[in-house]
Amino acid sequence: MKKIWVIIQKEVLDNLRDTRSWTTGVFWALFGPLILGGMIMLLGNTIREGTEALVLPVAGAEHAPNLIAFLEQQDVVIKPAPEDPQAAVIAGDINVALIIPVGYGENFSGGETASVQLVFDSTRQSAMMDISRAYDLLEGYGSYIGLLRLSLRGVSPEVLHVIQVEEVDTATPQSQALIFLSMLPYFIIFVIFNGASPVITDATAGERERGSLEPLLINPLPRGWVAIGKMISAMPFATFNLLITLVGFAAIFRFLPIEKLLGVQIGLDIGALTSVFLICLPIVILACAIQTLIASFSKTTKEAGTYLPFIGLIPSLPGLALAFLPVKSDLWTMLIPTFGQQILINQFLRTEPISGMNILISAVVTILLSVVITFIAIKLYEGERIIMG
Amino acid sequence: MIEVQGLSKSFGKVQAVKGVSFSARDGQITGLLGPNGAGKSTTLRMLYTLLKPDDGSAQIDGFDVRQNPIEVQKRIGVLADARGLYPRLTSRENIRYYGRLHGMEGEALEKQISSLVTLLDMQSIADRKTEGFSTGEKLKVAIARTLVHNPQNVLLDEPTNGLDVMSTRAMRQFVLRLREEGKCVLFTSQVMQEVAALCDQIVIISQGSVSANGSPDDLRKQTGKENLEDAFVAAIGSEEGLMQ
């Protein structure tokens, strides 16, 4: 067994000297936090705009003084619209514009439906906040006047209110920001695979390519130990990448003015990060096992290099989906390695109550799968194909 | 001491080795001679446990290659056809890795490495990373790595292949030195002159089986030829391997 340690020591030293490989890995590890930070800054700006006063360019304000007065009462800043409101919206100069036609006053006074035009581009995500506010205000004004008219004619306004919808939003103030956080598991898992792949590529396909595998296998130790030693030697690199990523995320949440940008505080403290780190350790084992297996039958480093880092994409994809589709932490989800962990990470970030049983089950299942994969890899190492490629 | 009985190996439909038998004694140099593709390397690969024989058996110092591969591996030093080094490790680190995989460590290992460095005259390259070494320099590291555990049986697969004249000479001196130390040396070659100059026993292999076996004198007698070259041609039935 001591010889496994000899292999680990050699592989770690050898790969540490391959500075270019592992520094590239560190760059990828920081990629996730940088992207997330960038997105928070960008989208944070949009969200914050929502809390500022709505600036509404209006054409023909003189036709509807009451409406304008109502809007101004609701803290809307009325500005004269540009010459061609539609062109201005298309050009992106303004988010939304209100056009009040000449006939408005006449229709309004006559008790008929008076129309106004709201000009906007519904595909522009950043303008959505302004658009919906303007729309809601206009609707609000319409129903307010409508109710007044009914009252004047002696009809109870409740006749119109067949259903009253009361909104019970369970989202905490943090929920909005948590949409960003849901992408975190995706980055984390990808980075783990990415950290292990150069080491494993070099230790298996690389050995064969430079002709050092055959002499290595003549040394007096079971070939399975060689496979295990190589697999374990990739773990520190994968773990290091995982740490870098988590520290990166921690730094983003610590030093970006999240509260100012998103209007909420994110509770990602050292304790939560440590838990996430521990939850991910079984994935490190799995990542190294899967990649050892695949590298053992790829013919060249080039071949291994084309798909090893991307193997991580497959298990991390559900994480991306989790950002949009909430999944409950049912038992079945814990039985799927990497998927269970992604849900657990999300729960940690949402500071939801977490069942210790779920953590245990997902860890045990992941490790069991790793053992099975390692066993297959060992069998491959014991065959003759490993030498011939 | 290496004993081989009826060793056979096929790759798919191609039968590479068909019932090869011979023995190689301690203190002797045994040469496996034959043209390209005759089955020399495959035979050697089965002896050093890399390939499993389909049929037949082989023992090294009494240990069967199939039953007891680890015991066999402890007793052999192999310079395989593939002799790749780790380019990011120094010569000394490359040698030390193999020493440790043979269970050596500490003072004893370092002393053995130093004596090999002196013996192979590689002081100037001992602590340099092996990236960019010349063929001769790489070979020296590979030989040192092969012998770090002082094996009783030394298997060399075409050791002079690709070497210049001086390195070839040095290699031959080295093989003779191993014989003086009482080792059992088995090497393959396709160069008749080299085998004739070094070997106590010659095993001629062609098309996967042994076509002649014995000392150079025996071979001359067996084939009825005065000249060893003619004997070789008579044994394998072609002139391949003579012109180098």
Residues in CB range of B35: below 8 A, 6 or more apart = B190, B206, B236, B238, B240, B241
Q: Inter-chain contact B85–A10, Cβ cutoff 8 Å?
A: no
Which helix (H) or strand (E) segment holds residue A209: the answer is: helix A205-209
Q: Would you call B172 an interface residue with chain A, using a CB distance cutoff of 8 Å?
A: no
Q: Would you call B70 an interface residue with chain A, using a CB distance cutoff of 8 Å?
A: yes
> How distant is the Cα of B52 from the closest Cα of chain A, in angstroms?
8
Residues in CB range of A272: below 8 A, 6 or more apart = A348, A349, A351
One pLDDT digit (tens) per residue for chain B, 244 residues: 999 999 999 988 889 999 999 999 999 999 998 888 889 999 999 999 999 999 999 999 999 999 999 999 999 999 988 889 999 999 999 999 999 999 999 999 999 999 999 988 899 999 999 999 998 899 999 999 999 999 999 999 988 887 888 888 888 888 999 999 999 999 998 888 888 889 999 999 988 899 888 888 888 888 777 777 787 777 777 655 454 4
Q: Output the pLDDT for position B244.
A: 40
Reported as a pLDDT band with limits 50, 70 and 90, residue A46 is low
Q: Output the pLDDT for position A312.
A: 74
Q: Using CB atoms, which residue from B81, B88, B102 is nearest to A18?
A: B88
**Hey, of A14, A19, A217, A218, which one would you mutate to test binding to chain B, going by the most B CBs within 10 A of its CB?**
A218
Q: Would you call A222 an interface residue with chain B, using a CB distance cutoff of 8 Å?
A: yes
Residues of A whose CB is below 8 A from B47: none
Which helix (H) or strand (E) segment holds residue B209: the answer is: strand B209-214
Q: Would you call A45 an interface residue with chain B, using a CB distance cutoff of 8 Å?
A: no
Give the chain B residue nearest A212 (alpha carbons). Answer: B84
Burial A258-295 (b: 16+ CB within 10 A, else e): beebbebebebeeebbebbbebbbbbbbbbbbbbbbbb
Q: Output the pLDDT for position A37.
A: 83
Q: Inter-chain contact B51–A384, Cβ cutoff 8 Å?
A: yes
Q: Inter-chain contact B101–A222, Cβ cutoff 8 Å?
A: no
Give the chain A residue nearest B157 (alpha carbons). Answer: A215
| Main-chain dihedrals φ then ψ at residue B104, nearest 5 degrees | -90, 155
Higher per-residue pLDDT: A337 or A263? A337
Q: Inter-chain contact B89–A14, Cβ cutoff 8 Å?
A: yes
Interface A-B: count of C-beta contacts within 8 A: 74
Strands B184-189, B14-24: pairing is unpaired
Say if CB A212 and CB B82 are below 8 A apart: yes
Q: Would you call B162 an interface residue with chain A, using a CB distance cutoff of 8 Å?
A: no
State the Cα–Cα distance between residues A226 and A203, nearest whole angstrom. Answer: 10
Q: Output the pLDDT for position A342.
A: 84
- By mean pLDDT, which of A147-156, A224-233, A364-373, B5-14 is the weakest? A147-156
Q: Using CB atoms, which residue from B50, B73, B100 is nearest to A214?
A: B50
Q: Output the pLDDT for position A75.
A: 85
The DSSP line for B46-64 is HHTTSS--SEEEEEETTEE
Structure tokens at A91: 């050009």
Give the chain B residue nearest A216 (alpha carbons). Answer: B98
Q: Output the pLDDT for position B4.
A: 95
Structure tokens at B61: 């110092």
Residues of B whose CB is below 8 A from A17: 88-89
Instruction: Read off the pTM.
Output: 0.78
Q: Inter-chain contact B89–A219, Cβ cutoff 8 Å?
A: no
Summarize pLDDT for A322-333 with one digit per residue, the tens. 666 666 667 777
Say if CB B28 and CB B186 are below 8 A apart: no
Q: What is the ipTM of this complex?
A: 0.91
Q: Inter-chain contact A220–B103, Cβ cutoff 8 Å?
A: yes
| Main-chain dihedrals φ then ψ at residue B211, nearest 5 degrees | -100, -20
Strands B63-64, B76-79: pairing is unpaired
Q: Output the pLDDT for position B74.
A: 95
Higher per-residue pLDDT: A42 or A85? A85
Residues of A whose CB is below 8 A from B146: 215
Say if CB B31 and CB B80 are below 8 A apart: no
**Hey, of B83, B100, B133, B153, which one would you mutate to test binding to chain A, going by the most A CBs within 10 A of its CB?**
B100
Which helix (H) or strand (E) segment holds residue B78: the answer is: strand B76-79
What residue spans define the domains of chain A?
A: 2-41+174-386, 50-168
Q: Would you call A4 an interface residue with chain B, using a CB distance cutoff of 8 Å?
A: no
Q: Output the pLDDT for position A74.
A: 85
State the Cα–Cα distance between residues A218 and A228, nearest whole angstrom. Answer: 16
Give the chain B residue nearest A211 (alpha carbons). Answer: B84
- The CATH code belonging to domain A50-168 is 3.40.190
Higher per-residue pLDDT: B83 or A349? B83
Q: Is A53 exposed, middle or buried (0-12, 13-18, 19+ CB in 10 A)?
A: exposed
Residue A209 CA, distance from chain mean position: 38
Q: Tokens 């030390």: give the residue.
A: B96
Q: Using CB atoms, which residue from A211, A221, A384 is nearest to B52?
A: A384
Residues of A whose CB is below 8 A from B50: 214, 217-218, 384, 387
Summarize pLDDT for A250-265 with one digit per residue, the tens. 888 778 777 666 666 6
Q: Would you call B133 an interface residue with chain A, using a CB distance cutoff of 8 Å?
A: no
Q: Would you call B102 an interface residue with chain A, using a CB distance cutoff of 8 Å?
A: yes
Q: Output the pLDDT for position B229.
A: 77
Summarize pLDDT for A90-148 with one digit per residue, the tens. 888 888 999 998 888 888 888 788 889 999 988 877 787 788 888 888 988 888 888 88
Question: How many residues in total does chain A contain?
Answer: 389
Q: Output the pLDDT for position B243.
A: 44
pLDDT higher than threshold 90 for residue A16: yes
Give the chain B residue nearest A214 (alpha carbons). Answer: B82
Higher per-residue pLDDT: A52 or A248? A248
Q: Would you call A6 an interface residue with chain B, using a CB distance cutoff of 8 Å?
A: yes
Give the chain B residue nearest A385 (alpha carbons). Answer: B51
Q: Inter-chain contact A387–B50, Cβ cutoff 8 Å?
A: yes
Q: Would you call B100 an interface residue with chain A, using a CB distance cutoff of 8 Å?
A: yes
**Average pLDDT for A21-31:** 87
Higher per-residue pLDDT: B48 or A165? B48
Residue A196 CA, distance from chain mean position: 22
pLDDT higher than threshold 60 for residue A230: yes
Higher per-residue pLDDT: A385 or A222? A222
Q: Inter-chain contact A213–B82, Cβ cutoff 8 Å?
A: yes
Q: Output the pLDDT for position A50.
A: 53
Q: Is A139 exposed, middle or buried (0-12, 13-18, 19+ CB in 10 A)?
A: exposed
Q: Inter-chain contact B84–A217, Cβ cutoff 8 Å?
A: no
Strands B14-24, B2-11: pairing is antiparallel
Give the chain A residue nearest B68 (alpha carbons). Answer: A220
Q: Output the pLDDT for position A346.
A: 79
Q: Output the pLDDT for position A282.
A: 94
> How distant is the Cα of B97 from the closest Cα of chain A, in angstroms?
7
Q: Output the pLDDT for position A143.
A: 86
Residues of B whose CB is below 8 A from A14: 86, 88-89
Q: Output the pLDDT for position B171.
A: 86
